[in-house]
Structure 1
Amino acid sequence: MDVDEQSQCVSKIIFELNELGKLEFPAYGSLYFANTSYVTGAELPSNPGYCIGPHCGGPWPNLSTYCDSLIDLGISRVPPPHLITKHPHWQEFHGSPTEHYDLLSQGRALLKAMARHPSLQDTAKPSLFHPCLHTDNIFVSENTPTTVTAIIDWQACSIEPAFHYADISPDFAQPRPHVQPERELSFKRDECGIRFDLGLIVFFGPMFKARRMDTAYLTPFRYCHRTWKDGFIRFRNEIIQTARRWGELGFEGACPVALLSEAECAKHMEEYKTFEEIQEWKESIDVALNVGEDGRVPAEAYEKMQALHLELLEYSVKHMFEGEGIDRDTQVQNYEFLKEVWPFDLPSGYKEELRRE
């Protein structure tokens, strides 16, 4: 398809989804048939035959209880200490269970106070949207490619605050590198991205409004339940930055989280800088391999991707383990670090001669 056909197709995609923007829901959760035996929710007044039931808990009638659910989810992902088999050095980078529990306790108080802000209330409408809207999930007619015939992969959709979807950025709405500069608008979005945003304005107002908010209002909600996956440093940084900007962002009353001392803040920023460098490094590996964070690749490309994976691994190892002044103790330390931060499984037995005794 040429650019004009692609932009028409994006308009059709949004039009296919526009009915979702009209739906009114009384709570956050998942959609069920009203006669589901294990769900006790009342039928939706505007959509008899359906009700809202649990989605990893819930349903939640308001934003405050929804905030509790995010923190509870984060807590549920922290394993008991006796099940953690990583080397102790890993906890210095990732955080101990106790550090996660303490951080999430602070996060609960922060999120519930933030939830009272008018901007968040205005963008918290219980909304249903496709959680993975990209070209692999969209089918078009072979004869008329601007005709959308199906949108698949709905099994993970749920009813969330509209701001939950603010960072959705489908691949078809991303700026394309082949578009000539003279066809780009001043804010560097191509036709497909503009069509997507226009569709959100018309059919999904609260979601579009959230996309234009200062991200400081949204990122604590985005990362609070991921602390065990990401490491506690990312969410800790969101808490610190929100506390620092509490008055500037228009939150009422005192921030429920105390500000760090100058020395504590400097130490955190040093650790966060290292964290960001590691994340950028991981992302560069994902980009080089053209895979997502789960490492999934098409079966026909597996051997090629595995060979490239090993090539990248060897390149990293060469810089970490070889060269003047790198003694065995440093090699062992680097090996432990590599195991902790490498985004995919290392080959069985890889560099085990360097394992820490």
Structure 2
Amino acid sequence: MEQATVHEFDPYSYTSGRWLRNDKRERQRRRIDFHFDELCRKIVGLSDGKRSIKNCEKKEGGFNRVFIFTMDDGSRVVARLPFTLAGPARLATASEVATIQYLQRKTSVPIPKILAWSDDAANSVGSEYIIMEHAAGIQLQQKWPNMSGDQKVQCIDAIYRKLREVVDIEFPAYGSLYLSTSLLGSSSRLPLEGGFCIGPHCGKRYWDCGDGRYYQCTIPNQGPWLTLSTFSDGLIDAGLSRIPPRDSLCSDQPPYQGSIETHLDLLERGRTVLDAMSADGQVQDAAVPTLFHPDLHKRNIFVSDNDPSIITGIIDWQSSSIEPAFWYSDEVPDFATYSPPAQGVDDSELCTKAYEVCTQFLTPKLARPRLMDEGMFRPFRYCYRTWKDGAVAFRHELIETCKDWEALGFANSCPFSLPTPEDMALHRKEYRCFEAAQNLKRDLSSLLDSASDGWVPPENWEVAKTENKAMFKGMLQAVLTNKDPDDGEPIRDERDLRAIWPFDLPKV
């Protein structure tokens, strides 16, 4: 095996970027200590006629490290190793493999063939892995800028004609797909035909993937769930599992975070609201158990180089799960939200209309919730995130839902009582601070050309760090020199500004 080109990079460390917040921790969470030479030997041994690796390219996303091997006969093989934050150990890999095999059996969606896999990090490679054939064709992200408007419309239509086959599959429960032979521990499973089953949800929102889970106030509730009401309980329990013990020291929290007691009370009150909403016929019609691609963007779609209306591959089914249909309704793919101008023409509006028409007629199960008032679904999406977002965000959704209860068409009265005038005034103050923090993160990310979590390419790291500090200094100066702040101004001094600043700063 030719080793020279293979070892021109570091296979173990994360090298594709740095973070403006918790950089050391984020890079450590993406380090994989494994046996790269053993992975290379496994690649070579997978098929007859391939005696050596000609080249290897490393690529990294937020949850995986990918190696693209070019063999001596010119063929390409892809090996993907998950970071620990990608999902629960063993289950995330086992579920992805089962989902791919299930879809290959049930649909004509083009998904590269799995050549080998292991969900046991104690294997000879020293990491979980999935080895697949490389997708045929060209990545849609590369092809898109040079496509005409008509080609883009035809491509969007082709994507949803394929995915319609996935959406049309009926399931009896919410959860994730597994092979019947998968080791699921004490978790329950619901058998499906063909050697498959629905087991626990492999999404990271239900598991400790480096952000801590505590079960002093609840027990693990990771599915599967037969009804929307029990699915909702799972969301609430996931929120409770993020709340640390009462004797924990929770320092450096923004003013809208809320105490541990506040979160516990809010989530239990929210449980009664979600339970009442789950019993509504409109919500149930929009909550049919549905499987869909979790990250449907141009980078995960491959098309024919000669005819981009031919879909040659859809990759990255990691964390695919069976969710209520409305769970996918607010996820708009990047090919439907922005289209780089081709030959001076902006096709964004055309692509958005094509997306709306295709989803309406080809995947109505997903389109139907988008036509409904989003207030019917927002409490479901916020409840499990209270400790991360702050209590004020979920409280705001419950208040708005309560106000609109009759207008939304729900029967009986809302089980959530509106706060007293005094508490409402405090809530408004906290919510203004929360909005200021969200706006600050959005604006800073744009100005620093970073992702919302502070990720920047390595070549921009030093400049971004310097600019982050300079922007804080400039904004602090503006805050301190504002002699007549509005009564509703949430940022009044350095402590307020530091509390909501999204990226790392020198200590006072």
**TM-score range for the pair, normalised by the shorter chain length:** 0.7 to 0.9
1:126 counterpart = 2:289? yes
Q: Which residue matches 1:67? A: 232
Determine the C-alpha separation between the residues in 2 that align with 1:307 and 1:145: 43
The 10-residue stretch of structure 1 (238-247 or 105-114) with the greater mean CA deviation from structure 2: 238-247
Identify which of 382, 387, 403 aligns with 1:223.
Answer: 382
Q: Quote the RMSD (CA, aligned, Å).
A: 2.8
Asked whether the 8 Å contact 1:321–1:334 carries over to 2, the reply is yes
Could you tell me whether the CA contact under 8 Å between 2:360 and 2:367 is conserved in 1? yes
What whole-Å deviation, never above 9, does each CA across 1:129-184 have from its counterpart, x for those lacking one? Answer: 1122222322334444443332222212111000111110112101558599x989
1:156 pairs with one of 297, 305, 319: 319
| Secondary structure at the counterpart of residue 286 of structure 1 | helix
Cα displacement string for residues 275-321 of structure 1 (whole angstroms, at most 9, x for unaligned residues): 22321222112222343322223334434444443443343233245
Query: Structure 1 stretches (4+) deviating beyond 4 angstroms?
Result: 175-180, 321-326
SS at match of 2:256: helix
**2:159 equivalent in structure 1:** 13
Amino acid at match of 1:151: I
Instruction: Point out where structure 2 has 5 or more consecutive residues left out of the alignment.
Output: 1-146, 207-221, 486-491
Amino acid of the structure 1 residue aligned with 2:280: H
Equivalent of 1:78 in 224, 234, 243: 243
How many residue pairs were aligned?
335
**Contact residue 22 and residue 203 of structure 1 kept, 8 A:** no
For 2:410, the equivalent position in structure 1 comes to: 251
Distance 1:214 1:283 in 2: 25
SS at match of 2:255: helix
Cα distance in 2 for partners of 1:249, 1:279 equals 27
Give the CA deviation at 1:26: 0.5
Contact 2:255 2:499 in 1 (8 A): no
Aligned residues of 1:34 and 1:42 also touching (Cα < 8 A): no
Match of 1:201 in 2: 360
Q: Which residue of 2 aligns with 1:330?
A: none
Answer with 300-309 or 105-114: which moved more: 300-309
1:32 aligns with 2:32: no
Larger strand share, 1 or 2: 2
Residue 260 (str. 1) matches residue 419 (str. 2): yes
Q: d(CA) in 2 for partners of 1:134 and 1:335?
A: 40
For 1:339 and 1:267, the matched residues in 2 are separated by 21
Q: Residue 72 and residue 9 in structure 1: after superposition, are their counterparts in 2 closer, same or farther (change >3 A)?
A: same
Task: Write the distance in 2 (CA, Å) between the matches of 1:136 and 1:335.
Answer: 41
- How far is the alpha carbon of 1:242 from its aligned partner? 1.1
Whether the aligned pair in 2 keeps the contact of 1:286 and 1:293 (CA below 8 Å) is: yes
Q: Which moved more, 1:191-200 or 1:78-87?
A: 78-87
How far off is 1:344 after superposition? 2.1
Q: Deviations over 1:309-342 (max 9, x none)?
A: 344334323324567799xxxxxx8333333212
Query: Quick one: distance in 2 between partners of 1:223 and 1:192?
Result: 29
The answer to whether the 8 Å contact 1:21/1:203 transfers is no
- Name whichever structure is richer in helix by fraction: 1
Residue 350 of structure 2: aligned partner: 191
Q: Give CA-to-partner distance per residue, 1:24-81, whole Å, 9 cap, x none.
A: 1100001111121326524324xx2211000131100000100100000111111224
Distance 2:338 2:261 in 1: 43
1:3 aligns with 2:168: no
Which stretch of the first structure deviates more once superposed, 242-251 or 100-109? 242-251
Is 197-206 or 165-174 further displaced after alignment?
197-206
